[in-house]
Amino acid sequence: MTPNKLTVAVLGGGTMGAGIAVTAARGGHRAILRDIDDEAVRRGLDNAESFLRKSASLGKLTAEQADAALADLSGTTDLSDIAAADVVIEAVFEDLELKKQLFAELDDVVSRDALFHTNTSTLSVTSIAAGSRYPERVVGTHYCNPAQLMKLVEVAEGRHTSSEATKRSLEFLESVGKTTVITKDRPGFILNRFLIPWENNCIRALEAGLGTVESIDRAVVGALRHPMGPFQLLDVVGLDVHKAVSTRLYEQLHEPRFAPPPLVDRMIAAGDLGRKAGRGFYTYDSTKSFGA
Ligand SMILES: NC(=O)c1ccc[n+]([C@@H]2O[C@H](COP(=O)([O-])OP(=O)(O)OC[C@H]3O[C@@H](n4cnc5c(N)ncnc54)[C@H](O)[C@@H]3O)[C@@H](O)[C@H]2O)c1
Going by pLDDT thresholds of 50, 70 and 90, the confidence category of residue 2 is low
Give the burial class of 147: count Cβ atoms within 10 A of its Cβ; 0-12 exposed, 13-18 middle, 19 or more buried.
buried
Distance from the alpha carbon of residue 93 to the mean position of ligand 1, in angstroms: 4
- Report the candidate in 219, 217, 223 with the shortest Cα–Cα distance to residue 282: 217
Q: Which residues contact 241 (CB under 8 A, 6 or more apart)?
A: 15
270 lines ligand 1 (CB under 6 A): no
Beta strand 115-118 with 138-143 is parallel
Taking residues 196-214, what's their average pLDDT?
Answer: 98
CB 106 within 8 A of CB 129: no
91 lines ligand 1 (CB under 6 A): yes
Residue nearest to atom 40 of ligand 1 (CA): 94
Nearest ligand 1 atom to the CA of 121 is 43
Instruction: Give the pLDDT confidence of 227-285 residue by residue, as tens digits.
Output: 999 999 999 999 999 999 999 999 999 999 999 999 999 999 999 999 989 999 999 98
Distance from the alpha carbon of residue 95 to the mean position of ligand 1, in angstroms: 9
pLDDT confidence of residue 142: 98
Give me the active site residues, please. 121, 142, 154, 192
Residue whose CB lies within 8 A of the most ligand 1 atoms, among 121, 123, 233, 239, for a mutation test: 121
pLDDT confidence of residue 34: 98
140 lines ligand 1 (CB under 6 A): no
Residue whose CB lies within 8 A of the most ligand 1 atoms, among 11, 15, 106, 246, for a mutation test: 15
The model's pTM is 0.93
CB 161 within 8 A of CB 125: yes
Instruction: Give the pLDDT confidence of 81-116 residue by residue, as tens digits.
Output: 999 999 999 999 999 999 999 999 999 999 999 999
Going by pLDDT thresholds of 50, 70 and 90, the confidence category of residue 291 is very low
- Report the candidate in 170, 171, 192 with the shortest Cα–Cα distance to residue 181: 170
145 lines ligand 1 (CB under 6 A): yes
Which domains does the chain possess? 7-183 (3.40.50.720), 192-277 (1.10.1040.10)
Going by pLDDT thresholds of 50, 70 and 90, the confidence category of residue 193 is very high
- Report the candidate in 212, 153, 217, 143 with the shortest Cα–Cα distance to residue 179: 153
CB count within 10 Å of CB 171 equals: 10
Distance from the alpha carbon of residue 223 to the mean position of ligand 1, in angstroms: 33
Distance of CA 44 to the CA centre of its chain: 13
Nearest ligand 1 atom to the CA of 17 is 16
pLDDT confidence of residue 3: 59
pLDDT confidence of residue 12: 98
Give the burial class of 160: count Cβ atoms within 10 A of its Cβ; 0-12 exposed, 13-18 middle, 19 or more buried.
middle
Residue nearest to atom 36 of ligand 1 (CA): 12
- Report the candidate in 207, 232, 216 with the shortest Cα–Cα distance to residue 282: 232
16 lines ligand 1 (CB under 6 A): yes
Instruction: Give the pLDDT confidence of 13-71 residue by residue, as tens digits.
Output: 998 999 999 999 999 999 999 999 999 999 999 999 999 999 999 999 999 999 999 99
pLDDT confidence of residue 289: 40
Distance from the alpha carbon of residue 90 to the mean position of ligand 1, in angstroms: 8
13 lines ligand 1 (CB under 6 A): yes
Distance from the alpha carbon of residue 222 to the mean position of ligand 1, in angstroms: 33
Whether the per-residue pLDDT at 9 is higher than 80: the answer is yes
Helix (H, G, I), strand (E, B) or coil at 212: coil
Going by pLDDT thresholds of 50, 70 and 90, the confidence category of residue 287 is very low
pLDDT confidence of residue 285: 84
119 lines ligand 1 (CB under 6 A): yes
100 lines ligand 1 (CB under 6 A): no
> Does residue 178 come out as left (phi exceeding 0), alpha (psi in the -120 to 50 range) or beta?
beta
